Amino acid sequence: MITSGAWADQTYAVLGLARSGAATVRALVASGADVVAWDSDEGRRIHILPGTGRGPGGAGVGGAPHGAPLADGPLHQPAAGPHPRAGEDLVLADPLSIDLTGFAGIVVSPGVPLNRHPIAQHAGDVPIIGDIELFAQARAELPPHKVVGITGTNGKSTTTALIAHICEIAGLPTRLGGNIGLPILGQDPLPEGGVYVLELSSYQIDLTHSLDCDVAVLLNITPDHLDRYDGFDGYAASKARLFAMQSQGHAAIIGIGDEASANVAKQVARAGRAEDLTKIAPGVCMDQSRWPALQGPHNAQNALAAIAACEALGIDAAAIDRGLESFPGLPHRMERVATVNGVLYVNDSKATNPTSTAPALAAFDRIHWIVGGQAKTDDLDACRAGFGHVAHAYVIGEAAPLFARLLEGDMPVSQSGTLEQAVRDAAANARAGETVLLSPACASFDQFRDYEDRGARFRSAVEALP
């Protein structure tokens, strides 16, 4: 795990005890910090106790074997008595219920909506940060390394995984983290010359103040998460902060296919960093025939950004080519699940907004499109260019009535309601050579735990077909 002497003898509150929060607690306590931890989910609160190495579950967060147990010490739950005594290094208490004066930081999950959650007011002068900021603070004590940070509304998971894959092909010690893979603080530090490749959501950037990326990548900015920001401009400004944290001479790679991203590129250039800047223009013709997992125009941009990032790291062209050719792709992103009776079934569950669904509609002919869930917008205009490829749409979830109204007249529509029914309906209509595509253009939380659960349920429904 990654630790830091800078946290020793400091007191932190950790709000949210899912994977990254649990890893944060363990890293802070191992570094000698005092920690007040909390989650609204009682199960997670109970789970964190054995995760310190002192409870009945043994070493590792949530009982997972992450190494030797931490030093023995007391644990305290407020329900069992008064608030903590001096010297207790892990306490379960809601930060809203205690005086936070003197705390070094409040580490919150990216899922905590700071524009609505009372912790923002209760914190006072105490900084509200995330685990990526703690990683940034720990960097000075790690062996010499580089950090690549990737953000954007769409394509960042694919681009992050592709950059990490190319680094590994080139023989560089590599860690994948941030909004993808394992929590970065829970991973072992890299040896000298290593590269940390971090996918960074706008929420994570909001909680980060000192991450100076050696290479920072912005793919695009389109409307998303607007419930967390003061309009689209506020969302775009969050993405731009990744470059404001960079030092002169560190590489900035920015897609300029939309106005907001192009404006960020202008900001970087006006800051006197024109020599650091690489612009990725849309519509560049590329031979993608040797890259089976990187098909479609959107993946051309992802590949160009990854190539530029790897070149900035000093990776040679031959290793980059091998990485592009051997990249396996990501689960839930245009993932070919099966071919049944000549019909291809594709899982694009990670497409959680219309802009991220549009590339999938462009990538296949004669599509039976499963779409719907928890809508982020009240239109599907970003998908319209691909409507001509859709033979039939099957709407599901909360958005089903809205999407049915939006699509009727452009294509046949079935109100299937559930994912399983949509798979059965599509299988009944599709013919050999056609594609059944789950690309929901929506969040998943109306019917599923997350987009991964939605994709897994799609796979199961396909496997259940006769």
Give CA 108 to chain center in angstroms: 16
Which is the catalytic residue, given 179, 299, 347, 353? 179
Residue 429 catalytic?
no
Euclidean distance between CA atoms 220 and 437, whole angstroms: 24
Give CA 164 to chain center in angstroms: 15
Contacts of 244 (CB under 8 A, 6+ apart): none
- For residues 89 and 34, the answer to whether their CB atoms sit within 8 Å is yes
DSSP conformation class of 382: G
The first and second tokens of residue 263, run together, are: 């404006």
Give CA 300 to chain center in angstroms: 20
Which is the catalytic residue, given 225, 263, 279, 429? 225
Closest CA relative to residue 442, chosen from 345, 337, 350: 350
Starting from the edge strand earliest in sequence, which strands make up the sheet with 277-280, in order? 174-178, 194-199, 145-151, 215-218, 251-255, 277-280
- For residues 267 and 240, the answer to whether their CB atoms sit within 8 Å is yes
Question: What are 178's strand-pairing partners?
Answer: 199
Tell me the three state secondary structure of residue 238.
helix
DSSP string, 241-265: HHHHTPPTTSEEEEE-SSHHHHHHH
Share of the chain residues as helix, strand and coil, in percent rounded to the nearest 5? 40, 20, 40
Euclidean distance between CA atoms 202 and 466, whole angstroms: 43
- 302 — alpha (psi -120 to 50), left (phi > 0) or beta? alpha
Residue 225 catalytic?
yes
- For residues 270 and 123, the answer to whether their CB atoms sit within 8 Å is no
Contacts of 306 (CB under 8 A, 6+ apart): 159, 162, 163, 166, 324
The first and second tokens of residue 192, run together, are: 């000298």
Euclidean distance between CA atoms 306 and 50, whole angstroms: 40
Euclidean distance between CA atoms 101 and 97, whole angstroms: 12
Residue 156 catalytic?
yes
Closest CA relative to residue 4, chosen from 106, 137, 105: 137
- 334 — alpha (psi -120 to 50), left (phi > 0) or beta? left
Which is the catalytic residue, given 47, 156, 165, 239? 156
Residues known to be catalytic: 156, 179, 225
